[in-house]
């Protein structure tokens, strides 16, 4: 709890204590006596449509919400920010809650595609970490629209067993990004499979970062430079993947540009499947790219009350902790901290240590022109042109 919340809580206790068993003080003559407002009745149909990333919600969470509230949830998934954005831009999505990354949420807020929250309906917002909410103001200046779902980072994930075998006498590089961007390594790893996330706004920022440019550059010349680097490894990339967990756990890829939690999920899945291979998310020496994924209510949502109810439900400490415990992504919910399992809390590729956190590249956003330049550069690279 921050100091303001503490002092609020304390004064509430003091006031409650004062009132007990005392003669009621005479009310000041002119005190306005307002009738307590009747609790608003939720007249919405009992439906909620959610659009989120795959492999991001603990099993049973939706069922628990449905059981408690009688609200039927339709839960769909999208694989990239681009896919979600295209839906929001086209309008009439039918979705109530969407979960964009902040890189896209900023222009979505500016474009009126997300609606402001009614914070009076989300008391559990008080559970959120003020430091994370402070970070989110870069995308959502007054914290009016976005509530953190989870955060994580884009990094290099490997099947260590297979990578070491494929590299032979070549030692692991100092900078893990070399494994996916440097021909000296990619030429050796192509045999066991290199996979990239299939999205311009996942790959181009990482490529820019690798060549020493601003990961969120708005300068088209930087994209040309990134392409030059990428072109040299194109022939070694086996997969552009939207099913990374399966691809890593199932052995289609031994090295990937992937999201931290997904690599950890793949590691767990491989173990369940009795594989002896060790799968790990690496912490590149030059830093990985942080992302924040956030819940927001889409413009024109037909079930805003149910959406607020779900957001508040998700923000209960036990639910936020369940997400971290089962999906291997850190939560922005401070009140959940003591409910995180020790093996998750101590995994330095989930909750990274502060020294590494300081090295990571925080998210920013792009102008529309830059996004277009990026998509063009990415498609050119993908097509091998």
Q: Which positions lie near ligand N2P, rule CB under 6 A? A: 53-56, 101, 152, 259, 262, 291, 293
Percent helix, percent strand, percent coil in the chain, to nearest 5: 45, 15, 40
Least distance CB 282 / ligand N2P (angstroms): 17
Report residue 296 as tokens: 């927001």
Report residue 380 as tokens: 């050119």
Least distance CB 28 / ligand N2P (angstroms): 55
Least distance CB 295 / ligand N2P (angstroms): 13
Locate tokens 């590089």: which residue?
173
Alpha helices in 119-219 (DSSP H): 130-136, 160-167, 178-181, 183-189, 200-210
Q: Which C-beta is closer to ligand N2P: that of 227 or that of 325?
A: 325
Give me the helix-helix angle, 368-382 and 220-231, nearest 10°. Answer: 20
Q: Which C-beta is closer to ligand N2P: that of 73 or that of 289?
A: 289
State the Cα–Cα distance between residues 10 and 16, nearest whole angstrom.
10
Q: Could you tell me if 186 and 233 are in contact, meaning their C-beta atoms sit under 8 angstroms apart?
A: yes
Q: Which C-beta is closer to ligand N2P: that of 289 or that of 336?
A: 289
Q: Which C-beta is closer to ligand N2P: that of 82 or that of 222?
A: 82
Please name which of 98, 95, 102, 94 lies closest in space to residue 56, comparing C-alpha atoms: 98
Least distance CB 263 / ligand N2P (angstroms): 10
Least distance CB 75 / ligand N2P (angstroms): 14
In angstroms, what CA-CA distances link 354 with 125, 127, 277, 311, 333? 24, 21, 29, 28, 17
Least distance CB 359 / ligand N2P (angstroms): 20
Query: Considering just the CA atoms, what is the radius of gyration of the chain in Å?
Result: 24
Q: Which C-beta is closer to ligand N2P: that of 101 or that of 284?
A: 101
Q: Which C-beta is closer to ligand N2P: that of 172 or that of 375?
A: 375
């Amino acid at each position: 709890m921050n100091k303001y919340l503490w002092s609020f809580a304390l004064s509430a206790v003091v006031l409650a204590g004062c009132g007990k068993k005392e003669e009621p003080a005479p009310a000041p003559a002119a005190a306005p006596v307002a009738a307590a407002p009747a609790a608003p009745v939720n007249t919405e149909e009992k439906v909620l449509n959610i659009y989120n990333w795959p492999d991001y919600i603990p099993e049973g969470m939706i069922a628990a919400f449905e059981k408690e509230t009688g609200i039927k949830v339709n839960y769909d998934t999208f694989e990239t920010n681009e896919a979600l954005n295209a839906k929001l831009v086209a309008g009439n999505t039918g979705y109530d809650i969407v979960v964009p990354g902040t890189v896209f949420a900023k222009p979505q807020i500016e474009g009126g595609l997300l609606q402001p929250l009614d914070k009076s309906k989300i008391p559990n917002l008080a559970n959120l970490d003020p430091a994370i909410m402070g970070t989110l103001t870069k995308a959502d200046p007054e914290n009016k629209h976005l509530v953190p779902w989870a955060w994580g980072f884009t990094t290099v994930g490997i099947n260590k067993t297979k990578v070491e075998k494929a590299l032979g006498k070549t030692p692991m590089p100092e900078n893990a990004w070399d494994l996916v961007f440097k021909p000296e390594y990619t030429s050796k790893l192509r045999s066991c499979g290199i996979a990239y996330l299939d999205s311009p706004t996942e790959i181009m920022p990482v490529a820019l970062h690798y060549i020493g440019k601003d990961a969120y550059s708005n300068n088209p010349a930087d994209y040309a430079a990134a392409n030059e680097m990428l072109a040299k490894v194109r022939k070694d990339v086996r997969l552009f993947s939207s099913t990374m967990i399966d691809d890593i756990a199932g052995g289609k890829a031994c090295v990937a540009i992937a999201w931290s939690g997904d690599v950890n999920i793949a590691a767990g899945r491989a173990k369940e499947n009795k594989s002896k291979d060790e799968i790990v998310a690496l912490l590149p020496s030059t830093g990985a790219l942080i992302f924040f994924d956030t819940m927001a209510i889409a413009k024109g949502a037909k079930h805003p009350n149910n959406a607020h109810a779900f957001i508040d439900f998700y923000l209960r400490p036990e639910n936020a902790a369940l997400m971290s415990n089962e999906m291997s992504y850190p939560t922005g919910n401070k009140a959940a901290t003591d409910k995180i399992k020790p093996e998750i809390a101590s995994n330095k590729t989930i909750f990274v240590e502060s020294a590494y956190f300081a090295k990571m590249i925080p998210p920013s956003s792009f102008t529309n022109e830059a996004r277009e330049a990026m998509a063009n550069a990415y498609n050119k690279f993908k097509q091998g042109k």
